[in-house]
Amino acid sequence: MMYGSARFNAWGSARGFASGEATEMAKEETINYFCEQYRLMFEENIDGYIKNFSSDLK
């Protein structure tokens, strides 16, 4: 699932640029954006499981 998400997000991001060169120039910024967004979403969800562990995972 993670591979598919990464592939889809790379495709969606690349479509937003006019060329491969422009995509490459924004590569690091794009990667940082997706990593930070994933981190925020993961933290939100793991905190929910921590808070509700006994009801959600038992």
Residue 7 lies in a domain: no
The burial class, CB within 10 Å (0-12 / 13-18 / 19+), for 23 is middle
Cα 34 from Cα 13, distance rounded (Å): 10
Q: Output the pLDDT for position 56.
A: 85
Q: Output the pLDDT for position 28.
A: 98
Per DSSP, the three-state class of 39 is: helix
pTM across the whole model:
0.84
Provide block-wise average pLDDT over 10 residues at a time, the chain (58 residues): 97 97 98 98 97 89
Q: Output the pLDDT for position 57.
A: 86
Residue 55 lies in a domain: yes
Residue 12 lies in a domain: no
- Residue 9 tokens, joined: 């997000």
Q: Please list the alpha-helical segments (H only) found in 1-58.
A: 2-15, 20-25, 27-51, 53-56
Instruction: Show the domain range for 46.
Output: 27-58
Per DSSP, the three-state class of 55 is: helix
